[in-house]
Amino acid sequence: MQPIQTARLRLRPFEDADEEAAFGFFGDPEVMRYSLNGVHTSRKQTEECILTNMHRQERTGYSIWAVIEQSSGDLIGMCGLAEFRHGIEGTDLAYRLRRDRWRKAYASEAGLGTVEHAFTALRIDRLFGLVEPANVASARVLEK
Per-residue pLDDT band at 6 (split at 50, 70, 90):
very high
Strand 75-84 versus strand 9-13 pairing type: unpaired
Are residues 106 and 77 in contact, defined by beta-carbon separation less than 8 angstroms? Answer: yes
**Residue-level pLDDT at 129:** 84
Q: What is the mean pLDDT of residues 136-143?
A: 87
The angle formed by the CA atoms of residues 73, 52 and 123, to the nearest 5 degrees, is 80
Which of 43, 46, 40, 34 is CA-nearest to residue 107? Answer: 34
Superfamily of domain 4-143: Gcn5-related N-acetyltransferase (GNAT) (3.40.630.30)
Model confidence pLDDT, tens digit, residues 63-111: 999 999 999 999 999 999 988 766 677 788 999 999 999 999 999 999 9
**Alpha helices, DSSP H only, in the chain?**
19-26, 43-60, 106-120, 136-143
Kindly tell me the burial class for residue 102, based on how many C-beta atoms sit within 10 Å of its own C-beta (0-12, 13-18, 19 or more): middle
Q: pLDDT tens across 115-135, in order?
A: 999 999 999 988 888 888 888
Q: At residue 101, what is the residue type?
A: R
47-72 tens-digit pLDDT? 999 999 999 999 999 999 999 999 99
**Entry pTM:** 0.92
36-46 average pLDDT score: 93
Residue 94 is predicted with a pLDDT of 92
Q: Which is higher by pLDDT, 109 or 141?
A: 109
Q: How many residues does the chain have?
A: 144
Residue 65 gets the label, from left (phi > 0), alpha (psi -120 to 50) or beta, of beta
